[in-house]
Amino acid sequence: MTERLQKLIAQAGLASRREAERWIEEGKVLLNGSPAKLGDRADLSLDQIHVDGKILRSAQEKVTILLNKPRGYVSTLKDPGGRRLVTDLIDNIPQRLFPVGRLDYNTEGLLLLTNDGELAQQVSHPRHHVDKTYLVKVRGRLSEKMVKQFERGLILEDGKTAPAKVENSRTTGSSCWFELTIHEGKNRQVRRMCEALGLTVVRLKRIRLDFLDLKDIATGRYRCLMDNEVERLKKIK
Ligand code: URA
């Protein structure tokens, strides 16, 4: 169904209709590559609209973004304590996105946000083994015995953890860094696994989620996943 361009721009949350009319008059809006005129109509499923060089997407269209979450943000949509929300970092996306799983307030790194319920379910369901790799910095040393305990599984108050993988450990002064890969998503799992071994986590960053990593995404920035990446995530068994 076609709609007036100013209505589509307003529905996408970019501007009021009046402002959108002004943008059309100022030549900032392209319809299928040519400058749009007031009165033009379009169908977002057939036509391409650019506003100030950026493609206009419908608020219903599915979108998933990969955010490099900084410390000091909550990954919920509301916080009664008034702390900063991960969604405060997102702009120019009209869809209402929700985080896929959670990273603690002080955990950094890779967090997906989406409006695609199927994708969220696929990535967070424990039945699907989606590997999540964390870069962990702990106070003290990581002994061979501790590595074996991570690999065998640890008893936490809500049950035993599945075998985890430890890689690339290195000691720097009084701390130790290592990469820990798990596929479960128990609450504060990495911190609790470390606590169970008497290790205090001083820094925690999710650096990979299956085939996705943080390459070229600075802290606090994000990118949209491509269709083939979304399809690949949906296929993980
Ligand atoms: N494990 C944790 O302890 N915290 C996170 O934020 C993610 C995994």
On whether both 75 and 182 belong to a single domain, the answer is no
Q: Is 199 exposed, middle or buried (0-12, 13-18, 19+ CB in 10 A)?
A: buried
Q: How many CB atoms neighbour CB 18 within 10 A?
A: 9
On whether both 220 and 113 belong to a single domain, the answer is yes
Which amino acid residue places its CA nearest to atom 7 of ligand 1?
103
On whether both 155 and 188 belong to a single domain, the answer is yes
Task: Check whether 75 has a pLDDT greater than 90.
Answer: yes
Task: Check whether 60 has a pLDDT greater than 80.
Answer: no
On whether both 109 and 138 belong to a single domain, the answer is no
| pLDDT value of residue 4 | 95
- The residues carrying an active-site annotation are 104
112 touches ligand 1 (CB under 6 Å): no
193 touches ligand 1 (CB under 6 Å): no
* CATH number of the domain encompassing residue 221: 3.30.70.580
| pLDDT value of residue 55 | 85
On whether both 217 and 203 belong to a single domain, the answer is no
| pLDDT value of residue 127 | 84
Tally the domains of the chain.
3
| pLDDT value of residue 231 | 95
CA distance 71 to 105: 6
On whether both 17 and 35 belong to a single domain, the answer is yes
| pLDDT value of residue 1 | 85
pLDDT tens per residue, range 106-155: 999 999 999 999 999 999 987 888 999 999 999 999 999 999 999 999 99
Please provide the average confidence, as pLDDT, over all residues in the chain. Answer: 94
Mean pLDDT computed over 207-223: 97
Q: How far is the CA of 103 from the centre of ligand 1 (A)?
A: 6
Which amino acid residue places its CA nearest to atom 3 of ligand 1?
188
Is-contact 203 142, C-beta < 8 A?
Answer: no
| Nearest atom in ligand 1 to 201's CA | 3
pLDDT tens per residue, range 171-188: 999 999 999 999 998 999
Q: How far is the CA of 165 from the centre of ligand 1 (A)?
A: 15
110 touches ligand 1 (CB under 6 Å): no
191 touches ligand 1 (CB under 6 Å): yes
Task: Check whether 161 has a pLDDT greater than 90.
Answer: yes
* CATH number of the domain encompassing residue 26: 3.10.290.10
On whether both 20 and 76 belong to a single domain, the answer is no
Q: How far is the CA of 102 from the centre of ligand 1 (A)?
A: 8
164 touches ligand 1 (CB under 6 Å): no
Q: In terms of residue numbers, what domain contains 144?
A: 132-209
On whether both 112 and 166 belong to a single domain, the answer is no
On whether both 200 and 174 belong to a single domain, the answer is yes
On whether both 199 and 230 belong to a single domain, the answer is no
Q: Model's pTM, two decimal places?
A: 0.83
Which amino acid residue places its CA nearest to atom 4 of ligand 1?
188
Give the sign of the dihedral formed by CA 186, CA 103, CA 109, CA 234: positive
| pLDDT value of residue 185 | 87
Mean pLDDT computed over 166-173: 95
On whether both 178 and 143 belong to a single domain, the answer is yes
| Nearest atom in ligand 1 to 191's CA | 3
Task: Check whether 82 has a pLDDT greater than 90.
Answer: yes
What are 57's two structure tokens?
Answer: 């997407």
On whether both 205 and 102 belong to a single domain, the answer is no
Q: How far is the CA of 203 from the centre of ligand 1 (A)?
A: 10
